[in-house]
Chains A and B, each alone.
Chain A
Amino acid sequence: MPSFIADRLSVGTFYNPHLAEALLSEGAAVDHLSMADPPAGDDALFPRIREQFPLLLHDYLGQLADPLSDHALERARNLQQLYRGPWIAEHFQCLHTEDGKYTLDYVFPPLYTEDFLRRFVANARRLADFVGAPLLMENIPGFFSVEHAQMSEAEFLQRFFEETGCGFLIDVPHLWLAAHYQRRNPREYIGEFPLDKVVEIHVGDVEDDRDPGGPWVAPTRPSREILELGVWIAERAPRLRAVTVDQFSPALAADVMFESVKMTREAFGVSRVVRKTA
């Protein structure tokens, strides 16, 4: 299994199993792959993917608003033992009810309150300790506001990172959307977040969606605006190690995936290198 790039930014994308063959034949185009799902039992190409690419654990490990079950912790540790990435990642989300009766099945932010901060801090520490790997946490956008918040998203994240020492996986389209729906300037909004904690950046784009009646996350090529915001963040993120194109969809085409990574490389000034294989 290849090592994660240490001497420059690693530019990668998500592992979409239907594109495994294309990834293997154009391997040097992509530095790393983020794993949103465990490899399927019938994914015959995964062993070769694992040999050729550094992998990052970006699965749903559990919502850190609640304590993770022993089963969830074991699962996370087993996945990390399979991927052996330099870190694991989860989201600031709370998407199912405590009794498990309702789930939104989609990333959804918690209330930004002292109580939820305590919950996330405790449960994130337990997850990182159990798995034995640094934990990055990704921001999640809200579409509407709830009358219960005690602090801003930026303050919640700032305090979380200070208390846990976790790294920040900053999703640029998510922040752009949060700024958009709060009618804020994206750069001003993003500037309130702890960019010195950023270890990984997600880039992507948004498209108009009929239900929100405006833009929402879409697995398309990163836009110029999102890439420029990403570069602006990178200039303020001394711990930054990776940029990942956030495209995970069975409908994704290989040319879109490769073009998106190429655009990202160019925007961040990272050249393509030929991977040395054993």
Chain B
Amino acid sequence: MNAGKMPAIPMSDRAVQDEVIRYLADANVRAKGPRRGPISVDEVAKAAQFAHFLARRYYRDRLARSFRYSHRFRKQTGRIAEEVVDGAEFDRFLSECVMGSLASAQRVGGMARAHLTAAPPSAAWWPDLLDYEYAYFLQASTAEREASGDQPSPGLSAVCRRFAWALPEMLPRLRAGEAIGDDLRREATLLFSRTHAARIYVMEVEPEVERVFRAADGQRTVDEIAAATGIPAAQALSMLASLAGIGAVQFPA
């Protein structure tokens, strides 16, 4: 028997289709070249063009949906978030982009935040608004799924952030075109998450919930989370279950 030569197992058509999808979605796969893949050398350039089209469309759509409040100030700023997909930095990103990954979302979200920070309106709450929209964008554009570990861990794109302004009250005022006054200067802690079914949640959380979320680091058991937060184990478990329901926490499979 020749141990060096294993007979090739023919791929199913479905597996071939998956190769094509991976080729389009993941620049790292494209960087390895087509070799024995299903896309011929003659078609590689066209496939790469299409991959760029898909990525640009994907992030433009999600930037528009996520940075919709800052969009209302385009006359003052002269800028909108989705413009970044037509810039040189995004062109460079296309050769590294893994569509739907957390890393790609962070990078594109960072581009948008920097773009809008460069020409801010004269409003003290503007940085908070951009941070809110950035965190929302992470949820909207992270389709990547992470295998759950041995202990409760945070959802891949889940973010818990403290704001100096009361975003839950500010956003309806922005929608209504009303002025934002100092009455909205109050600290608010918001938890952003996304479920496997792509449903996005943003909710204001109490300090106990924030503590449980931060303690669920993938290392601690439920009892250890309870001990670390000073919350009774049964209550901590109940909180973790609620957080899992909104995709903020993952339980071991």
- Which A residues form the contact surface with B (CB < 8 A)? 65-66, 94-106, 108, 110-111, 113, 115-116, 119, 143-148, 209, 211-213, 216, 250
Contacts and interface: CB of A to CB of B under 8 A. Distances in A.
B35 interface: no
Contacts of A101: 144-145
B64 interface: yes
Given A143-B50, A209-B53, A212-B53, A65 B17 contact: yes
B51 to A, nearest CB: 8
Given A115-B12, A209-B53, A211-B52, A143 B46 contact: yes
B116 interface: no
A211 B53 contact: yes
A104 B40 CA distance: 20
A216 B26 contact: no
A190 B58 CA distance: 30
**Interface pairs A-B: 6 shortest CB-CB:** A211-B53, A144-B46, A115-B13, A102-B25, A97-B18, A211-B52
Interface string B172-205: 0000000000000000000000000000000000
Interface of B: 12-18, 20-22, 24-26, 38-40, 43, 46-47, 49-50, 52-54, 56-58, 64, 99-100, 143-145
A223 B86 CA distance: 26
Residues of A contacting B: mostly:
loop
Contacts of A115: 12-14
Given A113-B13, A115-B14, A144 B43 contact: yes
B14 A102 contact: no
B40 A147 contact: yes
Chain B CB within 10 Å — which of A65, A104, A116, A147 has the most?
A104
A144 B39 contact: yes
Contact of B50 (A97, A116, A144): A144
Contacts of B53: 143, 209, 211-212, 216
A99 B144 CA distance: 11
A105 B17 contact: no
B70 to A, nearest CB: 15
B43 A145 contact: yes
Given A65-B14, A111-B13, A103 B46 contact: no
B146 to A, nearest CB: 10
Given A111-B13, A212-B53, 19 more contacts: A94-B17, A96-B21, A98-B18, A103-B25, A103-B99, A104-B99, A110-B17, A111-B20, A113-B13, A115-B12, A116-B13, A144-B39, A144-B43, A147-B38, A148-B13, A212-B49, A213-B49, A216-B53, A250-B64
A122 to B, nearest CB: 13
A13 to B, nearest CB: 20
A99 B100 CA distance: 14
B39 A147 contact: yes
Contacts of A65: 14, 17
A104 B52 CA distance: 11
A133 to B, nearest CB: 23
Nearest to A209: B53
Contacts of B144: 101
Given A144-B39, A144-B43, A147-B40, A102 B22 contact: yes
A106 B57 contact: yes
A96 B56 CA distance: 18
A106 B58 contact: yes
15 contacts: A94-B21, A95-B21, A99-B18, A102-B18, A104-B21, A105-B99, A105-B100, A143-B46, A143-B47, A143-B50, A144-B46, A148-B16, A209-B53, A211-B49, A216-B53
